[in-house]
Amino acid sequence: MTLPALQNTSVLYRRILSQFPQDISLAFAYGSGVFKQNGTSQGQMGKNMLDFVFAVDDPVTWHTMNLMQNRKHYSVLKFLGPRKISRIQEEHGAGVYYNTLIPVDGRIMKYGVISTDSLIDDLLHWKTMYIAGRLHKPVKILVQGENRKMRAALVGNLKSAVTASFLMLPESFSEEDLLLQIAGLSYAGDFRMVIGEDRSKVANIVKENVQHFRILYNNILQECPQVVYKPQQGKLEVDKSPEGQFVQLMALPRTLQQRITRLVDPPGKNRDVEEILLQVAQDPDCGSVVQQGISSIVKSSSITQTAKGIATAGLLKSLSYSTKKLQKMWKGWRMKTP
């Protein structure tokens, strides 16, 4: 199974991709400029920023080429050269280097560059959940190479999202409940949901894109032995026995398991992970513990990546970008106010 491309790549995306170095193992577009969200008209959607992520095997070589082709995209950090830029990308924040507010073909875009190895690590282990979380939701795949590890990691990331969501949901729930839980994973603990993001964002994403979510998750739900999935009725039932929850906890990404053990195990006790997760599986608050573990990952990466973004974007662009986010948050708040 591979992550499906939701639509044929349009001319606009091909034109944009042609302006960048072509050594890309995975490229995808996401966000409100690509997928319609509730409360957004087609006209507004055409004005929203296009968000891209490029995974590259060799960041130094890629940034070298991109600095030659698109030097104006970079902030003052361009004077440090491709090696330093790659070190900033790899060693700080969530392992992503963003250039933002780039005018291209009559639209505005931002793009993040991440190494292929760092992306695979995040998909498998949820080290930061920064890009893995974006890939829990529908994206438009533009380039996907033949890297088998990448393909397996993309599917594994979706399975992890389902497993974590099962642990936080009751025994019986609707398809909409599951999709809202999955879509909200990468926003749990994100400080930008308090300042800078529309708080109804998760519901807005799900409401207009249920069919796209089904394309991503239908096979996983049909094949999962721990859930009864009734797609015609839009209902699901999951095994909430301690044994069932233990199996789910053991299947979670490594970083999340580690965060859960830190929350539960007193300092200095040093029990093994399996023993701690067995204890959590029998706890009535198991779902809450999983939620706290996810929030701790997201909170840390959202703060450090945002701080890095000020340097990679430059102060003026950062202020402009933040202003646009606050305007969207204000608009969302006004729409909910009677």
Three-class SS string for the chain?
A: CCCCCCCCCCHHHHHHHCCCCCCCCEEEEECCCCCCCCCCCHHHHCCCCEEEEEEECCHHHHHHHHHHHCHHHCCHHHHHCHHHHHHHHHHCCCCEEEEEEEEECCEEEEEEEEEHHHHHHHHHHCCCCHHHHHCCCCCEEEEECCCHHHHHHHHHHHHHHHHHHHHHCCCEEEHHHHHHHHHHHHHCCCHHHCCCCCCCHHHHHHHCCHHHHHHHHHHHHHHCCCEEEECCCCEEEECCCHHHHHHHHHCCCHHHHHHHHHHHCCCCCCCCHHHHHHHHHCCCCHHHHHHHHHHHHHHHHHHHHHHHHHHHHCHHHHHHHHHHHHHHHHHHHHHHCC
The pLDDT score that the predictor gives to residue 1 is: 44
Task: Read off the pLDDT of each residue in 219-241 and give the average, rounded to a whole number.
Answer: 94
Q: Which of 50-64, 175-189, 225-239, 266-280 shows the lowest per-residue confidence on average (mean pLDDT)?
A: 266-280
The pLDDT score that the predictor gives to residue 144 is: 94
The pLDDT score that the predictor gives to residue 262 is: 92
pLDDT band at 53 (very low <50, low <70, confident <90, very high): very high
Q: Output the pTM of the full model.
A: 0.87
Q: Does the pLDDT at position 258 exceed 80?
A: yes
The pLDDT score that the predictor gives to residue 191 is: 56
Taking all residues of the chain, what is their mean pLDDT, rounded to a whole number? 87
